[in-house]
Structure 1
Amino acid sequence: MSGGDSRLQSNVIIGVFHQVLSLLINMVSKYAVRTYLGVEYLGLQTVFGNFCDIFTFAFMGIGTAMMYSLYRPLALGKRKEQAEIYQYYRRIYRILTVAVMSIGSAAVFLVLVVVHADIRVMEITGTYFLYLGSVLIYNRLFLEYYYIMADQKRYICCLVMSTVDGAALVFQVFVLKTAYNYSLFLLCVLVKNIITYFILHSYIKRRYSHLLQEEEMPGTAEQKEIRKNVKDLIIYRAGNVLVNSTDSIVISDLLSTATAGCYSNYMFVSMGIQSMISSFFDSILAKIGHSVSLDGRDKQYSDFLKLSAVNIMVNGITVIGFYWLVQDFISLWMGAEVLLDMKVPAIVALNLYLTGIRQTTAAYRQSAGLFQKVGYIVLGKGLLNLVLSYILGAVYGLMGILTATAVSSVITLYFYEPYMVYRYFGKSWKPEAVYQIVSGGLTYVILRIVGIPLQAMPAHSWFWLCIKGMLCLLLSLACFFLFGAVLSKIIKKLGEKQL
């Protein structure tokens, strides 16, 4: 096995392990907050998280731009160019940290307006600043994280973060169980993020010492290109944040913070599934980026079609599993009293599907550097979602807020992003049209078929939930293999006509 293939295998395996462990850690953490402090604190934590996502979205955008800038220098072994790019992004991160700290601090007044809970104002204020500080430290370590990831060594970051997160969880639960204090809980999170940052920074200093020895910056043309990519990706991330991180704020504002806490359980499961799938794509993102830098378009397009076929099955199985299992899971995890109407998992499953089915096109869009072609559309999608959430939420309540996300997604980015990637390949959009129509219909049909035995099978314990989950997985796999063979042939034939 070559070095690149070995790193890819490590990235995928350890990346998935890290994601599973992170989900388990967050499960225990949320359960501890719910048990020892109550559902209002769960909602408060969700609102804090959404506000901080809004203020720190630029960190993620800069990280993606940094990876794109590094693919070619890393692939060609240009150490001086790597160091110049790293130092330039380091300067950007410092400026951004100060800006986010200032804006985030001023936003405490908005937090106090939105939160409707029986919690003292001083406690809300103090815990918000602790939460903001921990998020700033966490996002600051992305400078090291994205460089290591661009070098196809994401597994290093995953091992470090898994170890520190696991150890920190013990202290977090102990603090909640003995002190019933949310401030001490968040202090543990802050210390955990500081430790993770110093470990990754030490690894960079030891393994990539040439990055810190170079003080020169990229040339004027390169800096201009970097700033352009950063701007486009920040706009893109801003739109994503307005879609993914405002629902709980709107729910807390229009309904109650407790309702936002109940809804956060569904989003936790949904985001967990998305992060599992994203972990796989993140693990191969650098590989795709290096392929974009070195391989021809025909080779890239062939790999793209294969990955798209796999994504249909993976996305379909996760959406079906979420829809039929999430109510039982939350009931066993948090208690039946925090369950919401069955319409909620239905619309969350739809949003999960709309996001997951575009994973392949999103991966190639990022790796090919097509930032400027989609950023403003995503921002428009986010603004539309925010406006529709308040309008529909005021009329239809919770379901109106959730429906706004699906509507804004379908009428903006859902069809444009694949079209843009196919234009990059110089191919017709026909295979993607077939892909979207057939995969959506196939997923819905299999969801209904799988639901026939699952609806008659209640899960009153974790054991029976596991049995139900295994049955759901096996039935979904069988159906996708049965029906998916036809779909794969259709996509392959359409793709071969264009190669």
Structure 2
Amino acid sequence: MRIKHTINNVSFSMLNMFISIILNFSYRTVLIKTVGIDYLGLTSFYTNILVILSLAELGIGHAITYSLYKPLAEKNYDKVLSILNYFRDVYIRVGFFILLIGVLISPFISFFIDGYEHLENIYVIFFLFVVNTSITYFYSYKRILINADQKAYKIVPITLLFLLIDLSIRMLLLIELNNLVLALCWQLVSKVLENYFVNRYIDKNYNILNNKHKRLAENDKQNIKSNVKALIYHKLGDAFVNGTDNIIISKFLGLTIVGMYSNYLLVVSVISSFLMLVFNSMTASVGNLIVQSNTDKVKEVFHISNMIAFWVFGLCSICLYFTLPLFIDLWLGENFLLPPSVNLLICINLFFFGMRVPLGVFKTSSGIFNQDKYAPIIQGVLNIILSVVLVDFYGVAGIIFATIVSGLIVPGVIRPYLVYKIVFKDNVVKYFIDFAKKITILIFASCIVFFAMSKITLSMDSELIMLIFKSVILFSIVNVVFVFCFFRTTEFKQFSAMLRRKLL
């Protein structure tokens, strides 16, 4: 049943992702062509500000999800309802807090923007971003139930329909009226309508939500608060790592560079989000597995997941290095290209991020929040210090390099140590030996690809056909190398056997 729910979540999420990719690229293209690259940079900058404001959530969503695994497995619906009621009350407070702080800091927002004088309505646009984020907390608390119950795929048709309507109307407003403010106002309306229909669907399919409201027992509340206290540090660290890059770029390099960099990040985030669908869909299933299965079974699933993460993120990182500049040139033109060093570091960062994903899934599913609570703060502070020091010398490349270094030094060491010690009851040295082997395989594959591409001459009239042809060649070479390196390993054989059982 766990695998069935995971497959359903992945399948529906892939459909959602595919359509979302087309719509988001279309919207971004329209945004650049109508109001300009600086407004794209402004919206990317505001998104980072909202990441920091969302610290008010304190990680309670993760703590609540973890708390729901066991009562859902045991069909203890009274406890499930009491947890959800507690979650609702907290999220309403969070929404109002973000709204209040957003209003208070709005007069100072221009301090972080280099050369904003020619832009109009920067404060109105920021306020609309703040309200949009607040609405999410007011209405989306019920989604955590369907996510923890491994049935998030059932609301995909609703969210997909509203995404289509939202982005289509926003593009129409930009094209016809050239008005970003009206487009963002419509986004708020669309967000409210989407949450209304999603919540109505969840109410109909979970009768427990219609029962009399129950208060969460004090000991359960304390357990959640204990996990939340640890997650505060994780949220702070995530904000420092993921929510500060565009702010630093905006302050030191300007909104135009923010906009150009965000185009690269959009492509990478589309790929990483697509790959993360598999791993995110596994989280609830892994939580259920850990509760019900022995350590050897959990470890077996982890090793298979780790091999898959290396395979897909390694493949994408190598292919992306050769094709990302071609895609940006084809999509927007050569004026939107960043230096090759930026492209290389983006691909390296994507790979190392991917290699930490299975560890993150098993760590979160096991409820390991408190043991490494200071690690994200250390990572975040190190990332900011290195970014500010390096941006003057190396620009965007220095900021990405800071992210890579801080990620390798902190979560790259601490996360595997905790998962192996607490979940697997095993020596973490085994993980690092395996990690070193995988890095060697990646370097070996990269060398073969570089050699092969240097010998292959591609000259075509159509840039699109050349991009597709080059991608096919890269995809084929890397997969052949990976199969050659992995086909004798235990995890490859286990994964192959699992696929045969499901497909035949």
> Which bin holds the TM-score, normalised by the shorter protein?
over 0.9
User: For each residue in 1:101-146, what CA deviation from the matched residue of structure 2 results, as whole angstroms up to 9, or x when unmatched?
Assistant: 1112222234211123455566000011112211222344442222
Q: Quick check: 339-348 or 432-441, which moved more?
A: 432-441
Native 8 Å contact 1:141 1:200 kept in 2 = no
Deviations along 1:189-244, one digit per CA (max 9) or x if unpaired, are: 21221121111211222122322433222211110011111222232122112111
Structure-2 separation of matches of 1:95 and 1:458: 59
What are the residue-to-residue correspondences of 1:6-21 with 2, within 5 Å? 6-21=4-19
Listed as ranges, the matches of 1:242-257 within 5 Å are 242-257=240-255
Name the counterpart of 1:126. 124
Give the unaligned 5+ runs of structure 2: 495-504
Check if 1:443 corresponds to 2:445: no
1:91 and 2:89 equivalent? yes
Q: 1:244, 1:457 → 2: CA distance?
A: 37
- The correspondence for 1:370, drawn from 361, 368, 371, is 368
Aligned to 2:77: 79
Q: 1:279 Cα deviation (Å)?
A: 1.1
The amino acid of 1:144's aligned partner reads K
Q: How many residues align?
A: 490
Q: Is the 8 A contact 1:151 1:286 kept in 2?
A: yes
For residues 165-191 of structure 1, give each alpha carbon's deviation from its aligned partner in whole angstroms, at most 9, with x where no partner exists: 012221111111111111112122212
In the alignment, is residue 345 of structure 1 matched against residue 347 of structure 2? no
1:335 aligned to 2:337? no
Rounded Cα–Cα distance in structure 2 between residues aligned with 1:470 and 1:481: 16
Aligned-partner Cα distance in 2 for 1:489–1:11: 23
Contact 2:304–2:491 under 8 Å retained in 1 = no
Q: 1:4 to 1:381 in 2, by over 3 A?
A: closer
Looking at structure 2, the residues matched to 487 and 251 of structure 1 have their Cα atoms a distance apart, in angstroms, of 44
Structure 2 match to 1:496 = none
Residues in 1 aligned to 2:458 and 2:103: alpha-carbon distance in whole angstroms: 49
What is the distance in 2 between the residues matched to 1:51 and 1:205? 33
Which region of structure 1 is more displaced relative to structure 2, 13-22 or 68-77?
13-22
Query: Match of 1:218, as an amino acid?
Result: L
Aligned equivalent of 2:46:
48
Instruction: Return the alpha-carbon distance in structure 1 between the equivalents of residues 229 and 140 of structure 2.
Output: 17
Query: 2:194 is matched with which residue?
Result: 196
Give the whole-Å Cα distance in 2 for the aligned partners of 1:104 and 1:402. Answer: 28
Shift of 1:486: 5.0
Shift of 1:158: 2.5
Task: Return the offset for 1:469.
Answer: 1.6
TM-score by length of 1: 0.93
Q: Tell me the SS of whatever aligns to 1:357.
A: helix
Shift in Å at residue 256 of structure 1?
0.8
Question: Structure 1 233/22 Cα, relative in aligned 2: closer, same or farther at 3 Å?
Answer: farther
In the superposition, the TM-score normalised over structure 2's length comes to 0.92
- Would the aligned equivalents of 2:304 and 2:492 in 1 still touch at CA under 8 Å? no
CA contact (8 A) 1:80 1:214 kept: no
Matches within 5 A, 1:263-412: 263-412=261-410
**What residue in structure 2 maps to residue 433 of structure 1?**
432
In the alignment, is the contact (CA less than 8 A) between 1:64 and 1:146 conserved in 2?
A: no
Find out whether 1:481 has 2:479 as its counterpart: no
Letter in 1 for 2:328: I
- Structure 2: how far apart are the matches of 1:138 and 1:24? 23
**Match for 1:7: what amino acid?**
H
Contact 2:379 2:407 in 1 (8 A): yes
Contact 2:64 2:87 (C-alpha < 8 Å) held by counterparts: yes
Judging changes above 3 Å, is the alpha-carbon distance between structure 1 residues 399 and 4 closer, same or farther for their aligned structure 2 residues?
A: closer
Is 1:181 the counterpart of 2:183? The answer is no
Q: Structure 1 stretch 328-337 or stretch 464-473: which is displaced more?
A: 464-473
Of the three residues 125, 136, 139, the one matched with 1:138 is 136
For 2:481, the aligned partner's letter is: C
Structure 1 unaligned spans of 5+ = 493-499
CA distance in 1, matches of 2:473, 2:458: 10
- After superposition, the Cα gap between the structure-2 partners of 1:135 and 1:119, relative to the gap in structure 1 and judged at 3 Å, is farther
The 1:224–1:451 alpha-carbon spacing in structure 2 relative to 1, beyond 3 Å, is same
Q: 18-27 vs 407-416, which deviates more?
A: 18-27
Q: Deviations over 1:235-280 (max 9, x none)?
A: 2122112111211110110011101111111111222222112211
Q: Which stretch of the first structure deviates more once superposed, 140-149 or 347-356?
A: 140-149
Deviates more, 1:250-259 or 1:15-24: 15-24
List structure 1 runs of 4+ shifted beyond 6 angstroms.
489-492
In structure 1, C-alpha distance between the alignment counterparts of 2:99 and 2:172, rounded to whole Å: 30
CA, structure 1 residues 429+4, in 2 after alignment: closer, same or farther (shift >3 Å)?
closer
Q: 1:109 aligns with which of 107, 110, 126?
A: 107
| Structure 1 counterpart SS, 2:215 | coil
Give the superposed CA RMSD: 2.1
Give the 3 Å change call, closer, same or farther, for CA 488–420 of structure 1 in structure 2: same
Determine what percentage of the aligned residue pairs are the same residue.
26
Structure 2 equivalent of residue 231 of structure 1: 229
Q: Distance in 2 between matches of 1:458 and 1:39?
A: 31
Structure 2 CA distance for aligned equivalents of residues 452 and 193 of structure 1: 49
- Using the alignment, how far apart are the partners of 1:483 and 1:60 within structure 2? 42
> Could you say if the C-alpha distance between residues 91 and 323 of structure 1 is closer, same or farther in structure 2, counting changes exceeding 3 Å?
same
